[in-house]
Structure 1
Amino acid sequence: MASGSDEPNPEDGKILSPEELDIADDEHVTEIDEGRYVVSSDVRTNDSYGNQVSSDSTPDPDPAPEPDAPEFTDANVHEWLAEQMAKSNSRYGFDVTAKFDGNVDQQQVVSNDIITAFESFMLWYGRQMDGSTSVENVLGILLSESNVPVKHPPESFKRMVQSTGLSPDDSIADLVEAIEARDGAKF
């Protein structure tokens, strides 16, 4: 504030309380990992599964009767979903309905970060597979058992080797043993 004035100074920013900074309970936020979130301005999340539902599709609690309701066909639904995705201000996104052992689940994510969009999809998919196996193991099994060759960037291999604490003087056998001890994997 200016000296001697009770008028707020526009250069003084509002100080936010910790409650105002806490986004975890916001209906537009989905936590994808510890401390990592997907935030959407127009998507409401469903906390029970981490699913997201477009705020445009939220049912009106007291809807007015519509005499000319559109016919719901696969083509109409797909067209509507494509239009909604196209209207999104995000560069990347997906809207998936999937069936896992008889259970149907839906997931929608939009993001300007391609890695966030892909990672969100992979984590969601991995969580659907098997509740007794960690998502990391599920994704590893799916990738290793698929017929799609995966090329690992040299930087990821370097980080894995560095995480073992070994030095250049250690042998490949030492590396394999350290990875097996850390991850429980058997080569």
Structure 2
Amino acid sequence: MSEGPDEPNPEDGKILSPEELDISDDDHVEQIDEGRYVVSPDVRTDSTTPSRPAPDPTPEPEPTPEPEPTLDDATVHEWLAETMDEGNSRYGFDVTAKFDGTVSQQRMVSNDIITVFESLMLWYARQVDGSTPVEEVLGILLSESNVPVRYPPESLRELVKTSGCSPDDSIAELLAAVEGEDGVQL
């Protein structure tokens, strides 16, 4: 069959010859290994220059580690204040105390101010002396302190009622009635 005018001619560049497939002489090609080449579409390579490895990418800076928190009195007090402030109770305490060489801690939060105060006082009295009744320890602490305590008049009325005295009895009789073993309970 003869080639017609519409049929492609193999010599017109559609089919490449082995010489045309040899890219080692091209200015845009650099051989990096046997049978391996780097082809650049824009940049001419210098085949006389030995191939260089690509530069290492710029290393990312390592983040600065967070400093270890300092554990001292100020840090502990700050943490305690923050945790107490973050709570939703209106009243509270967090106490660390030393009693005869023994360290004890107590924390209490509540919306009831009397409950918080009572809890603190009872805890403290138990720490001071475990063998004496709490009521007696609190009485001793209050009577021996330099802080004057004012009792509401209702407390005195209640004392008179529980002593068994009547309005006709004297103060001496009231004192004699409350000087029993148990002391005065207000």
TM-score by length of 1: 0.60
| CA distance in structure 2 between the aligned counterparts of 1:136 and 1:146, rounded to whole angstroms | 15
Q: Indicate whether 1:180 and 2:179 are aligned.
A: yes
Q: How does 1:142-157 map to 2 (within 5 A)?
A: 142-157=141-156
Distance 1:107 1:175 in 2: 39
SS in 2 for 1:118: helix
The two structures, once aligned, show a CA RMSD in angstroms of: 1.8
Rounded Cα–Cα distance in structure 2 between residues aligned with 1:153 and 1:183: 21
Residues 113-167 of structure 1 show CA distances to partners (whole Å, capped at 9, x for unaligned) of: 1111111000000000112211111111111111111111111111111111211
Q: Secondary structure at the match of 1:174?
A: helix
Matched, 1:160 2:159: yes
1:92-121 CA distance string (max 9 Å, x none): 000000000000000000011111111100
Percent of pairs with identical residues = 68
Task: State the alpha-carbon separation in 2 of the partners of residues 74 and 184 from structure 1.
Answer: 42
Deviations 1:2-50 (A, max 9, x none): xxxxxxxxxxxxxxxxxxxxxxxxxxxxxxxxxxxxxxxxxxxxxxxxx
Name whichever structure is richer in strand by fraction. 1
In structure 2, how many angstroms separate the alpha carbons of the residues matched to 1:174 and 1:121?
35
SS at structure 1 position matched to 2:180? helix
- 1:124-143 → structure 2 map (5 Å cutoff): 124-143=123-142
Structure with larger RCO (C-alpha < 8 A, sep 6+): 1
Please show how residues 1-187 of structure 1 align to structure 2 within 5 Å: 69-181=68-180, 183-184=182-183
TM-score by structure 2 length?
Answer: 0.61
Unmatched runs of 5 consecutive residues or more in structure 2: 1-65
- If you compute each CA radius of gyration, which structure gives the higher value, 1 or 2? 2
Runs of 4 or more, structure 1, over 6 Å off, are none
Give distance in 2, aligned partners of 1:181 and 1:148.
Answer: 25
Gaps of 5+ in 1: 1-66
